[in-house]
Amino acid sequence: MYDVHVLLTVALTLGNVSFKLGGDDGEDEDSSVVEDMAPLRDICNLLGDTSEEELETALTSKFIVTKGETFVRPLIVGQAIDARDTFAKSIYENLFSWLVSRMNTILSPRVDRSDNSSWNSIGVLDIFGFENFGHNSFEQLCINTANEQLHFFFNQHIFAWELEEYRKEGISAADIDFADNQPQVNLLLGKPLGVFSIIDEEAKLSRGSDSSALAKLKKHVGEQAPFVHVTAGGEHMFGVKHYAGEVKYQITGMLEKNRNTSSPAVVDIMKGCACSLAIETFDSIESQSSKRRRSSGGPDSGRSGKKLMSFRFLQKARDKLSRRGRADVSKKASKRFSKRL
pLDDT in tens, 78-91: 889 989 999 999 99
Which one of 221, 252, 283 terminates a domain?
252
Domain count, the chain: 2
Supply angle C-alpha 236, 139, 271, rounded to 5: 120
Whether residue 115 lies inside any domain: the answer is: no
Residue 227 scores a pLDDT above 50: yes
pTM of this prediction exceeds 0.95: no
Comparing CA positions, the residue from 99, 86, 101, 66 lying closest to residue 14 is: 86
DSSP state of 205: S
Amino acid at 288: Q
260 falls in which pLDDT band (50, 70, 90)? confident
DSSP character for 176?
A: -
142 and 248 together in one domain: yes
CB 341 within 8 A of CB 304: no
Same domain, 245 and 333: no
Q: Is 116 a member of any domain?
A: no
Count of Cβ atoms closer than 10 Å to residue 109 Cβ: 7
SS3 state of residue 247 = strand
Single-letter amino acid, residue 163 = L
How confident is the model over 146-160, as a mean pLDDT? 85
The CATH number assigned to the domain holding 171 equals 1.20.58.530
Same domain, 144 and 247: yes
Beta bridge partners of 71: 64
Q: Is residue 125 part of a domain?
A: no
Q: What are phi and psi of 233, to 5 degrees?
A: 65, 25
Answer yes or no: is 110 within a domain. Answer: no
281 and 214, same domain (yes or no): no
Are 331 and 284 contained in the same domain? Answer: yes
pLDDT of 333: 34
Q: Is residue 126 part of a domain?
A: no
Highest mean pLDDT: which range of 36-50, 107-121, 158-172, 259-273: 36-50
**Partner residues linked to 34 by β-bridges:** 19
Average pLDDT on 148-177 reads 79
Residue 242 belongs to some domain of the structure: yes
Q: Give one word for 37, left, alpha or beta, with left for phi > 0 and alpha for psi -120 to 50.
A: alpha
Q: Are residues 210 and 284 in the same domain?
A: no
In a domain, 118, yes or no: no
Q: Phi and psi at residue 204, in whole multiples of 5°? A: -80, -20
pLDDT at residue 56, rounded to an integer: 94
Domain boundary residue among 189, 218, 252? 252
Task: Give 276-315 pLDDT, tens digit per residue.
Answer: 999 999 886 554 544 444 443 343 433 333 344 444 444 4
Lowest mean pLDDT across 52-56, 157-161, 284-288, 333-337:
333-337
Mean pLDDT to the nearest integer, 7-17 = 96
Helix axes 52-59, 77-107, angle to 10 degrees: 110
Whether residue 296 sits in one domain with residue 273:
yes
Same structural domain, 245 and 264: no
Strand partners, 240: 227, 247
Which of 231, 252, 273 is the C-terminal boundary of a domain? 252
How many angstroms separate the CA atoms of 126 and 8, rounded?
A: 19
Give the CA angle between residues 7, 78, 75 to the nearest 5°: 85
Inside any domain, residue 216: yes
Q: What average pLDDT does this structure show over 202-228?
A: 93
Domain shared by 169 and 216, yes or no: yes
| CATH number of the domain bearing residue 68 | 1.20.120.720
% the chain with pLDDT above 90:
46
Q: Give residue 101's identity as a one-letter amino acid code.
A: S
274 and 246 in a common domain: no
Examine the domain organization and report whether 142 and 242 are in the same domain.
yes
The Cα angle at residue 120 between residues 115 and 121, in degrees rounded to 5 = 120
How far is the C-alpha of 341 from the C-alpha of 339, rounded, in Å? 5
Count of positions (residues) in the chain: 341
Q: What average pLDDT score do residues 57-61 get?
A: 92
- Based on the domain organization, do 22 and 57 belong to the same domain? yes
**C-alpha–C-alpha distance, residues 131 and 150, integer Å:** 14
Return the SS3 of 118: helix
Range of the domain at 245: 138-252
pLDDT at 209 over 80: yes
